[in-house]
Amino acid sequence: MDLETQAVRAGQVRSQFGEHSEALYLTSSFVFDNAAQAAARFSGAEEGNVYSRFTNPTVTMLQERLAALEGAEACLATASGMSAILATAMGTMKAGDHVLCSASVFGATVQLFGNILGNFGVQSTFVPGAGVAAWRAAIRPNTRLLFVESPSNPLTEVFDIAALGALAREHNALLVVDNCFCSPALQRPLALGADVVVHSATKYLDGQGRVLGGAVVGSKKFINERILPFLRTAGPTLSPFNAWIILKGLETLGIRMAAQSARAREVAIWLETHPAIERVFYPGIDSHPQFTLAKRQQDSGGAIVSFIVKGGREAAWRAIDATKVVSITANLGDTKTTITHPASTTHARISAEARAAAGIEEGLLRVAVGLESVNDLKEDLARGLVR
Ligand SMILES: *Cc1c(COP(=O)(O)O)cnc(C)c1O
């Protein structure tokens, strides 16, 4: 079936009541007919729900639907995007192993690999830029994971997923792609050559800024052997309520991504001509250094536009403070447009050197375009952009 159909249909299981909309199973545990069945469920001899840290029917429906959209065999939902990345790391690495991570990733991902997992003996290298040669040079015999966001947050750098996937396989490592910015509506990394997709469902999958969630998507073997044991034991599973919200969010994913991307492209084109703007980063216009690659991998440029305002932090903050429509918040992927100053918020905790290496300049702003009218958005952004 096509993606649009799967987004509204895949994974649904109806109860004996014949509900049309997916049911929300708010329950922590499940009852058994008798003691023997309880034993059989616990031993795994009989399939079925036991406890919502292991499985829950609403969460299962979401997992099936997202797996279908990503063209994957299996998916496990997690409490947040960061717990999806944590589960992937914990399921694939041990002390002494090495992760090669793009330098242009979400700030918390840098913290997780560099500091938190570093305390447990995991080594990490952050590779600047999207050039495959630099990745090849940084790979080690103990490298287990290659990790990228494509497009990356906030500079929308695009990575050659096929080339990095091949490099990972050559070295017996896995390529993990954080598909947050595109969502499966615009990009399916597994078909392009990635081994694993991680998601912050908090962003476009919910799409309306309501709940936190995440997911790990991949082969049945990988999910069952690597992710499931960690998740059901350590416990950062998704709540059924959040799963239900995200499940319903997926139904409008395709039309939201198309509409928000179209608006973002218009905003990017307009910003490029604005005299107060030094540079625009948007993969859907030909000024983007990886425009051709983005065109090959993505159905459109996505809904995030980043740009450097002339005049550094002062000018960037002035542009933020002059807005009346867009929301000043660090979230993205909402139907409401958001504006963020990465250097002082999402990327403030990483060192100034790491920030500079990742190209997070003081004048950089990130706008996650929502569903408001483009004219209102342009007018709102123009208010604080003085030439
Ligand atoms: C937000 C985000 C995350 C983390 O997701 P949470 O749901 O906030 O834990 C990871 N990667 C990217 C690209 C993000 O934007």
pLDDT at 34 over 80: yes
Q: Which CATH superfamily is domain 254-382 in?
A: Aspartate Aminotransferase, domain 1 (3.90.1150.10)
CATH number of 3-250: 3.40.640.10
CB of 250 closer than 6 angstroms to any ligand 1 atom: no
pLDDT at 164 over 70: yes
Closest protein CA for atom 5 of ligand 1: 81
* pLDDT in the model for residue 255: 97
* pLDDT in the model for residue 352: 82
Q: What is the token pair recorded at 95?
A: 């002390």
Closest protein CA for atom 1 of ligand 1: 200
CB of 200 closer than 6 angstroms to any ligand 1 atom: yes
pLDDT single digits (tens) 342-375 = 999 988 877 888 788 778 899 999 999 999 999 9
Q: How far apart, in whole angstroms, are the C-alpha atoms of residue 140 and residue 183?
A: 30
CA of 106 to the centre of ligand 1 (A): 7
What atom of ligand 1 comes closest to residue 153's alpha carbon?
13
What atom of ligand 1 comes closest to residue 203's alpha carbon?
1
Domain ranges of the chain: 3-250, 254-382
CA of 85 to the centre of ligand 1 (A): 9
CA of 358 to the centre of ligand 1 (A): 17
Give me the mean pLDDT over the 191-206 stretch.
Answer: 98
* pLDDT in the model for residue 243: 98
CA of 108 to the centre of ligand 1 (A): 8
The answer to whether the CB of 201 falls within 8 A of the CB of 180 is no
- Band (pLDDT 50/70/90 cuts) for residue 152 is very high
* pLDDT in the model for residue 130: 85
DSSP-assigned states of every residue in 269-295: HHHHT-TTEEEEE-TTSTTSTTHHHHH
* pLDDT in the model for residue 27: 97
CB of 104 closer than 6 angstroms to any ligand 1 atom: no
Q: What is the token pair recorded at 199?
A: 């998601």
Give me the chain's average pLDDT, please.
95
The three-state secondary structure class of 98 is strand
CB of 282 closer than 6 angstroms to any ligand 1 atom: no
CB of 203 closer than 6 angstroms to any ligand 1 atom: yes
pLDDT at 314 over 80: yes
- Band (pLDDT 50/70/90 cuts) for residue 330 is confident
Give me the mean pLDDT over the 283-292 stretch.
Answer: 95
pLDDT single digits (tens) 232-246 = 999 999 999 999 999
* Residue (of 239, 177, 262, 252) closest to 207 by Cα position: 252
- Band (pLDDT 50/70/90 cuts) for residue 157 is very high
- Band (pLDDT 50/70/90 cuts) for residue 386 is confident
pLDDT at 387 over 70: no
Q: How far apart, in whole angstroms, are the C-alpha atoms of residue 138 and residue 19?
A: 53
Residue to substitute in 80, 102, 106, 331 for testing ligand 1 pocket (most ligand atoms within 8 angstroms of CB):
106
CB of 153 closer than 6 angstroms to any ligand 1 atom: yes
